[in-house]
Amino acid sequence: DVISVLSALIITTIQFRLVSHLHPGVSLSSVVVDRTFRGPFEEVCRAVNTALEFDEAVKLKNNMKKFVALSTCASTREKLKTTLFGGQRIRVALDDILVGFNVTVRRSIRRARQDLRMEEAIRIARRISNSGVPADLKQHATATAAVTKMLHGNLWTLPSARSINKGRTAVISAAFGPRRCMRCPEIVLTTLVNPVRCDPLSAIAYRGICDTRRLLRNSCDRMYKFVEVLAQVGTLPNVQGPAHGFTPLLDACGCEHTITQNDIIIKSIYTGRSTSLTLGSCAAFKNSLRSAVTRNIREQLVKRLSNDPEHDSVSRKDMVGITATLDDHAITQPTWRKNIN
């Protein structure tokens, strides 16, 4: 209930102020009562013991079986296995699930959790497709139930390409019926619907970049550290983290980034339109990102269809010479007039 949540937030806030004062070298974060401590080995151990003493003083009980220690250093993990916290040993692992997000210290990408969520979303889309409701309700249910299920837990790590392709097919079948699958999915996603709501990959990338913008705008120190690591992306292989997960999100939107003195500029590869990641209007930023996503999907259609039917037997004769530039106003205006009338 509300009173229990407020009490937990108050106690956690008081505890974090105490730990921050006694151990300034430890970074703290929490989701209600799920607390995380990050920093040097010895400093973190002292900070955790201080938090446990605080819990004992205010008569709070901890389930030590849920405590997990992670470290990127193998020798530190061996020390953690023999370290006592509150008189007990805790579990030491390479990865863990924190409020639905996979936190890992491995140097390889972990996509199992994301793929499981995609499979569940695909099952939801298939149930929607088999329901007997009208087509407009199916489209709304697909965007609010199936696609929304795909978004959570994908902030820094995308699902596998196989899961994304299966999810796109399931979403199109559920929202528009199996006959719409005879059309090119790029046409359906960019002309009939909003791609950032119905296309799984575009929706994940759109939300991930918007969440990154929100997180960086809230803290100058976080922004400084993010830019510092982002400048090193590509120099070290197999590195996991926010900055290294941010670049695949941009690639999914057909964008590239440029680091300036005080900001990060996102530029569409195909339209050349630029926007600031942290400055300016949120509405303008989202509109620019949505335009980049739409153009990127259409460019994928152009690349997929060959313009030389003499040397490629799979080319469609009705799409020879197709380009990614469409008159969106002419496409949406008849529908808008019909709704007004």
Q: What is the pLDDT of residue 332?
A: 61
Checking if the pLDDT of 316 tops 80, the result is no
Q: What is the pLDDT of residue 107?
A: 76
Checking if the pLDDT of 217 tops 80, the result is yes
Rounded Cα–Cα distance for residues 271 and 117 (Å)? 33
Checking if the pLDDT of 255 tops 70, the result is yes
The larger pLDDT score, comparing residue 98 to residue 331, is at 98
The larger pLDDT score, comparing residue 175 to residue 239, is at 175
For 93, phi then psi, to 5°, come to: -140, 175
pLDDT-derived band at 64, boundaries 50, 70, 90: confident
Q: Are 145 and 129 in contact (CB under 8 A)?
A: no
Average per-residue pLDDT for the chain: 82
Q: What is the pLDDT of residue 148?
A: 87
Write the DSSP string, 153-169. T-SSSPPPHHHHHHHHH
pLDDT-derived band at 267, boundaries 50, 70, 90: very high
pLDDT-derived band at 265, boundaries 50, 70, 90: very high
Rounded Cα–Cα distance for residues 153 and 223 (Å)? 22
Checking if the pLDDT of 80 tops 70, the result is yes
Q: What is the pLDDT of residue 85?
A: 86
Checking if the pLDDT of 314 tops 80, the result is no
Q: What is the pLDDT of residue 285?
A: 92
List the structure tokens of 97.
């699930």
What percentage of residues in the chain have a pLDDT greater than 70? Answer: 87
> pLDDT per residue over 88-107, tens digit each?
888 888 888 777 677 788 87
Q: Which of 59-63, 160-164, 211-215, 264-268 has the lowest mean pLDDT?
A: 59-63
Alpha helices by DSSP H, listed for 1-111, are: 2-22, 41-57, 74-82
Q: What is the pLDDT of residue 213?
A: 92
Q: What is the pLDDT of residue 318?
A: 64
Q: Are 199 and 297 in contact (CB under 8 A)?
A: yes
Q: Determine the Cα angle at 232 with ends 260 and 234, to 5°.
A: 115
pLDDT-derived band at 320, boundaries 50, 70, 90: low
Q: What is the pLDDT of residue 131?
A: 83
What is the mean pLDDT of the segment spanning 239-260? 86
Checking if the pLDDT of 339 tops 80, the result is no
Checking if the pLDDT of 341 tops 50, the result is no
Q: Which of 36-50, 132-146, 176-190, 192-206 has the lowest mean pLDDT?
A: 176-190
What is the mean pLDDT of the segment spanning 135-160? 84
Rounded Cα–Cα distance for residues 149 and 159 (Å)? 13
Q: What is the pLDDT of residue 242?
A: 83
